[in-house]
Structure 1
Amino acid sequence: MKILQQNLALNQPGSVKIILEDEDDLWLAYNLFAKGDTIVADTTRKVSHNKNSANGKRKDSTRVKTKLEIRITDVDYDKDSSTVRVRGRNLATNELMASGAYHTLEIERNKEIDLTKKHWDSDAIDTLHEGSEKSSGADLAVVLFQQGSAQVFLIGHKVTTLAKVEALKTNNKTASNKLFEQAFQAFVKHVHFNTVRCVVLGSPDSTKEEFRGYLFQEAQRLKMKWVEENKSRFVMVNIGNKNSLKELLHDNEVMGLIKDTKAVMEIRAYKEFSDLLLTDSDRACYGPRSVETAQEMMAIETLLITDDLLRNKEIALRKKYMELVKSVKKAGGKAFLFSPKHVSGEQLAQLTGIAAILRFPLPELDELVL
């Protein structure tokens, strides 16, 4: 989610101009929009025209772009299409719509939306900031080469696959050039060194070194000083043929460069949890019922939850886990969201996808959830 403008304060009226960029942003918007809010966005409406023809008059219709301003009465989320629809009374009068008429607006990605609330409470502000931080919170950029293909990732709150490029089935030189060209385009489009601390180039052979040379040569030719000025942030890592991203995230050099970033803190949190299971099991638990019971007792110090659970297609489950995360944070605990592409996320998924490190031992917890 991009915040273009904001003029708001806690427990005060205010407004914000945003762009929703992906499905997660649409879900956040569903939780952000509320009855009584005012929303302004571009939309299209069908307009009929009478036209003369050889057979007399006939009606044609066209879709015309217009701006809709409505005061929200209902908000709906379609889990299958990840679509948000808001319904309410039109506040502006124009040649297409009368003031006071009810309209439904389907919220689309990559369009500007103006949202005004009479009261910005802490939950609404937290939801807004969660979306904004998600889009700008990548610590690590990764370009992986393997068997004639390249993948570009950003790693922060979650693992985002930005591009996957396949080599052309031509001679080796042409295929390599095209592969490097497309990987370079994806890199310069998505990687920003104001947030990214480190760029890792990985391959099982010399492709990573060849691409590094190509990248800096192109950056110099195109006068992209921001790439050349950050040469020291590039690291090259040898990877195997399987689970290469997970392998890379445990490389000692990479871990050293991105220490104290979100990706590393998640790995450390999972290690602490797994160590406690072996050495002090009364201070660790996993499974929905055990974790929920521990939180009812305000015992959770760190919550570990997978991306798949927190973004469940079932709205009731999704809300339940979001409320659990909020509850843990409100009580002073920490919450880490694990991507299934992280090795620790894969391990957590095998333990139901949700676990917790406890503030104090709960030896009776298993009996309480029976």
Structure 2
Amino acid sequence: MKQVNKHIDKHGVGHVTLRPEDDQDMWHLYNLIQQGDLVRGPAVRRVQSVSATGSTDSQRVRLNLTLQVSSVLFSAGDGEGAAASNDPSSSSTATSTASLHISGRVTSENPHVRMGAHHTLDVETNRDIRIEKDPVSGSQHVWDSVSLGVVEQSIVPGRGAEVAAVVCGEGQAVFCLLSEHMTVIANRLKVNVPRKASGSQHDAGLNKFYSAVYDGITRHVPYQTPELKAIVVASPGWVRDAVVDYVQAEATKRGNKALATALRTKLVKVHVNSPHVHSLMEVLKNPQIAAQLNETKFAREGMALDKFFKMLGSDELRAWYGPDHVSFAVDRAAVGTLLISDELFRASDPGLRKKYVAMVEAVQQKGGEAVIFSSMHESGQRIAQPTHRNRRDSDISSRRRGRRSRGGSVQW
């Protein structure tokens, strides 16, 4: 994401103009834009004109519109066949497949669109989007510490996929790209492998599967980009070993030196219990992966959540969840680590959002740590279900200080 300009006063009123470049930037915009905000961006509108003879003509016109937001819809696009770029100089690790749609009523005068008309902006990469938060203009929100933090995180250069994971079983594989704020499913692969009793047909099916995995890695894994820290091949049983042996041999056979080097320096084989996407949590817990990724945001999220669950099992009085218990702990400066989902900051009720923002600021001001989980990662989805005893309120957690303190982990 590029920040084109920014003007925000001390009260949090003002605007920021941003230029999204990839899927992760679309996710950041989704977390920034709220109901009532004024958003200005490029749009395509079909305009009808009537000639002097009474005939009508319809044409599509590209123009800039300002909307007062009524709803925002984000779709990750779950990468059905999206191809990753292996150009080291590329700032994006994959073709943008996410979509962001901003609906609202037009608030600025335009020769082609009347004031108050309803329109939906389809946000495009490399097109400027201006977001204004001003209560005077009708927005119920201002630029608080959380939203400003999202802006600062989004404009850090060089944020590509840090881990590529191929989670596979016999005849099936899922290609995932893990970046700081998102887990993108780049592709799903399924190949029919006959039973072993079929003999040569079974071997032929396996070879077809291994070849498809090789093609998937060359197409969906950005193995030449410097941001990529690890290429993980995970599976139950023996599948990962067979896949790795085939891919390494095939890279050498085809003379793909870049892939062969990446496999030699970045490859990690991990055992998981099932060949499905949720096994990524097992991957991140692997000591070898944790050592390589200890500075990344999603690794810190995974470790914090793991500590919470361990504390919940071993010392329940120090691990609390639920809005009332967390607020109680925060008010008494008893929270060492607060775990909270970014979904809470998308609340349409400004009072509710202010409550969550104040909670994060209070913990940080009193020396605690606030970990904001991305709901686009597996850990962010798990934080919504910390325990079977409370499935309704589960997006916020905190571990409390002190050996004998009464609280510690909460989820809302």
TM-score in same-fold range (> 0.5)? yes
Q: TM-score, normalised by structure 1?
A: 0.71
- Contact 2:5 / 2:18 at 8 angstroms: preserved in 1? no
Corresponding position of 1:355: 397
Corresponding position of 1:40: 41
Alpha-carbon deviation of 1:104? Answer: 4.2
Residues 127 and 241 (structure 1), Cα distance of their counterparts in 2 relative to 1, 3 Å cut: closer
Secondary structure, in 3 states, of the residue corresponding to 2:62? strand
- Contact 2:298 / 2:377 at 8 angstroms: preserved in 1? no
Distance 2:253 2:17 in 1: 41
State how 1:31-180 maps to structure 2 within 5 Å: 31=34, 34-35=37-38, 39-48=40-49, 59=56, 61-62=58-59, 64-70=60-66, 74-77=68-71, 83-90=101-108, 96=112, 101-111=115-125, 112-115=127-130, 121=143, 123=145, 124-132=147-155, 136=159, 138-155=161-178, 156-167=180-191, 171-172=204-205, 173-180=207-214
- Contact 2:65 / 2:106 at 8 angstroms: preserved in 1? no
Of residues 241, 244, 254 in structure 2, which corresponds to 1:208? 244
Residues 50 and 21 (structure 1), Cα distance of their counterparts in 2 relative to 1, 3 Å cut: farther
Could you tell me which amino acid in structure 2 is paired with residue 207 of structure 1? V
Residues 296 and 214 (structure 1), Cα distance of their counterparts in 2 relative to 1, 3 Å cut: farther
Give the structure with the higher percent strand. Answer: 1
Corresponding position of 2:269: 236
Residues 349 and 131 (structure 1), Cα distance of their counterparts in 2 relative to 1, 3 Å cut: farther
Secondary structure, in 3 states, of the residue corresponding to 1:157? coil
Alpha-carbon deviation of 1:152? Answer: 1.5
Corresponding position of 2:17: 16
Distance 2:291 2:227 in 1: 17
Alpha-carbon deviation of 1:51? Answer: 11
Of residues 329, 340, 343 in structure 2, which corresponds to 1:294? 329
Distance 1:116 1:342 in 2: 29
Alpha-carbon deviation of 1:83? Answer: 4.2
- Contact 2:327 / 2:359 at 8 angstroms: preserved in 1? no
Residues 365 and 232 (structure 1), Cα distance of their counterparts in 2 relative to 1, 3 Å cut: closer
Residues 315 and 97 (structure 1), Cα distance of their counterparts in 2 relative to 1, 3 Å cut: closer
Secondary structure, in 3 states, of the residue corresponding to 2:37? coil
Residues 285 and 60 (structure 1), Cα distance of their counterparts in 2 relative to 1, 3 Å cut: same
User: Any stretches of 5+ residues in structure 1 without a counterpart?
Assistant: none
Distance 1:126 1:192 in 2: 30
Alpha-carbon deviation of 1:185? Answer: 0.7
User: Any stretches of 5+ residues in structure 2 without a counterpart?
Assistant: 76-99, 135-141, 194-200
Corresponding position of 2:357: 323
What is the root-mean-square deviation of aligned Cα atoms in Å?
4.4
- 1:186 maps onto 2:182 in alignment: no
Cα offsets for 1:245-280 (capped at 9, x unmatched): 333333332233323433432333234334444665
- Does 291-300 or 129-138 show the bigger shift? 129-138
Q: Tell me the number of residue pairs that the alignment of Structure 1 and Structure 2 aligns.
A: 344
Residues 230 and 166 (structure 1), Cα distance of their counterparts in 2 relative to 1, 3 Å cut: closer
Secondary structure, in 3 states, of the residue corresponding to 1:154? strand
Distance 1:160 1:83 in 2: 19
Residues 336 and 59 (structure 1), Cα distance of their counterparts in 2 relative to 1, 3 Å cut: closer
Alpha-carbon deviation of 1:49? Answer: 5.0
- Contact 1:305 / 1:337 at 8 angstroms: preserved in 2? yes
Residues 196 and 321 (structure 1), Cα distance of their counterparts in 2 relative to 1, 3 Å cut: farther
- Contact 1:138 / 1:157 at 8 angstroms: preserved in 2? no
Residues 232 and 345 (structure 1), Cα distance of their counterparts in 2 relative to 1, 3 Å cut: same
Secondary structure, in 3 states, of the residue corresponding to 1:136? coil
- Contact 1:300 / 1:328 at 8 angstroms: preserved in 2? no
Residues 194 and 16 (structure 1), Cα distance of their counterparts in 2 relative to 1, 3 Å cut: farther
Distance 1:322 1:135 in 2: 30
Distance 2:160 2:341 in 1: 18
Distance 1:283 1:245 in 2: 27
Secondary structure, in 3 states, of the residue corresponding to 1:90? coil
Of residues 281, 284, 292 in structure 2, which corresponds to 1:246? 281
- Contact 1:167 / 1:179 at 8 angstroms: preserved in 2? no
Alpha-carbon deviation of 1:84? Answer: 2.3
Residues 199 and 216 (structure 1), Cα distance of their counterparts in 2 relative to 1, 3 Å cut: farther
Corresponding position of 1:262: 297
Residues 256 and 21 (structure 1), Cα distance of their counterparts in 2 relative to 1, 3 Å cut: closer
Secondary structure, in 3 states, of the residue corresponding to 2:228? coil
Distance 1:277 1:241 in 2: 25
Secondary structure, in 3 states, of the residue corresponding to 1:8? strand
Alpha-carbon deviation of 1:360? Answer: 4.8
Distance 2:157 2:31 in 1: 11
- Does 193-202 or 208-217 show the bigger shift? 208-217
- 1:27 maps onto 2:30 in alignment: yes
Alpha-carbon deviation of 1:129? Answer: 3.0
